[in-house]
Structure 1
Amino acid sequence: MLMSFKKIVLQCPPFRLSYQGLGEPLCFAAFGPFATTAFYLLQRKTSELPVTGTVLSASVLVGITTSLILFCSHFHQVKGDMAVGKMSPLVRLGSGAGSDVVKIAVIVLYSFLLVIGLCRTLPLTCIILCELTIPIGRLVVSYVAANHKDNTKIFMAKYYCVRLHATFGAALAAGLVAARMFAGSYIP
């Protein structure tokens, strides 16, 4: 269903919101807070509607990594996007500034993780396991910085982002499960 949303709203007329550079923010919302919160609510055994800081924090982290995949998938398409009038963020920024955005996004991802860990919004197990993915985050940043001008090599950046998304998400989920198993009912 979310893939249908993406196709219809982001790419098809009359909306074509991705042509206006709104793909990444909409991807963040749809696959981060909306999808994660909806999945959480579907899995709850009670009819209450408490969406906690834990759920919202986790959903923001998932949204960041998901949006990073979409952002990096545009590096090799800048010339083509310009030719068809698609004003993606990379068309607007250029690949050099786009490389800086990737670096900032990865720094924000791990900084936000640390802040919500210090605030005890997420359990310590999540923080520790997610911090173990920092080498993959560094790989994404260094690969994009080194190859953002090379359309042949930069194509792989989105796959490195997928690795970050998958390992970070698995670490986050494992941390939540471990917290529940070892600390009773910490997770709402």
Structure 2
Amino acid sequence: MAGALLCAAAGLALPLGAGAAAVDDGVMQLQREWEVIQYQSPAQARERQFEALAAKAHQLSETYPAASAPLIWEGIIVSSWAGAKGGLGALGLAKQARSLYERAIQIDGHALDGSAYNSLGVLYYKVPGWPLGFGDKAKAAELLQKALAINPDGIDPNYFYAEYLVETHQADQAIPYLERALQAPPRAGRQIADSGRREEARQLLAKIKPR
């Protein structure tokens, strides 16, 4: 993980290698728990489960404040919690997630293959615009394209840019990105997430592709 990695325990810094390993382990655990909730838990249980997982993610972010990856995953989990919650009550969570992604980008925008840019872009096209929220389709496009430039073959940046194109009435342009998402190389240890995202890509492609 890029950036100096700090340990809050007893106010002492871990050796860099040990700190990096601890961050990696913590992030992997968050990833595993998130994908089980997102793709395998009943919909009615997700809000409560994401809320509990967000508390774990926040603890990791606070323990390693100079690492970008925990902030990214805290943002992803808080964003998912907002999605499960729904309605105007989720807007405060969306703002919280935006702040987490922005902090992650300040530390290292390239961490986790540019995931902070991608996830922040998703927020900007899913959240309502002014006066209700901070949504901004132009800002979303800018951020999603940055993520694609960093990780052009990745499943997530291709899928979400395609979804953005569909939601902004450019469905014909989304097809190659969905096809690229379906051909994306598998991510180590992310089988559940990859399977779920591929299914989402297949469903969206079937919805928009000319018969």
Same fold (TM over 0.5): no
Give the TM-score normalised by structure 1.
0.32
* RCO comparison, higher one (Cα < 8 Å, 6+): 1
